[in-house]
């Protein structure tokens, strides 16, 4: 969705976001804004990936106190976005467990448009390198 240079976590002059990434509050505001913007563009399906997803498919185990629960998910549930999400699935990091987390009303879409889980990344875009345990963790 965004070009790979926006995910550069090195503190060098070529990093356009070096000032944002060094400050915890600015970094959080950046990822909240970016995640909310992404959520407004989603259409039909969305998927949340959480390491807490397990075989029990317990919806209460999904982490809801970070950016996902406080910003992305409420935005995905809105009906006046660029797209309109009717179903949110949950998966674990390796994709071996997938279940329906939320549906709009009685709508239940039984089959995804693609069997492969994607995050809107292509060859010239990379996934964020700001996960827990990194130099610049983000509270997803």
Q: Lowest mean pLDDT of 8-12, 85-89, 95-99, name the range.
A: 8-12
Evaluate whether residue 59 is within a structural domain: yes
- pLDDT exceeds cutoff 70 at 74: yes
Q: Which of 112, 84, 94, 83 is nearest to 49 (CA)?
A: 94
Give the pLDDT band of residue 71 (cuts 50, 70, 90): very high
Evaluate whether residue 125 is within a structural domain: no
Evaluate whether residue 68 is within a structural domain: yes
Evaluate whether residue 93 is within a structural domain: yes
Task: Report the percentage of the chain scoring pLDDT > 70.
Answer: 63
Give the single-character DSSP code of 80.
Answer: S
Range of the domain at 45: 4-103
CA distance 11 to 41: 30
73's enclosing H/E stretch is helix 73-77
Evaluate whether residue 11 is within a structural domain: yes
Specify the number of domains making up the chain. Answer: 1
Evaluate whether residue 60 is within a structural domain: yes
Evaluate whether residue 134 is within a structural domain: no
Q: What's the chain's length in residues?
A: 140
Phi, psi of 100, rounded to the nearest 5 degrees:
-75, 120
Give the single-character DSSP code of 90.
Answer: E
Evaluate whether residue 135 is within a structural domain: no
């Amino acid at each position: 969705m965004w070009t790979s240079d926006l995910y550069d976590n090195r503190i060098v002059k070529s990093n356009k976001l070096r000032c944002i990434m060094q400050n915890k509050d600015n970094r959080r505001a950046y990822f909240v804004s970016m995640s909310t913007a992404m959520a407004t563009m989603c259409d039909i399906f969305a998927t949340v990936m959480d390491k807490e997803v397990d075989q029990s498919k317990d919806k209460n185990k999904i982490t809801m106190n970070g950016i996902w629960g406080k910003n992305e998910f409420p935005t995905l549930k809105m009906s006046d976005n660029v797209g309109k999400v009717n179903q949110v699935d949950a998966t674990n990091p390796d994709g071996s467990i997938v279940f329906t987390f939320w549906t709009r009303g009685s709508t239940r879409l039984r089959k995804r448009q693609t069997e492969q889980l994607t995050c809107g990344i292509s060859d010239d875009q990379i996934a964020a390198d700001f996960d827990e345990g990194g130099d610049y963790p983000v509270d997803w």
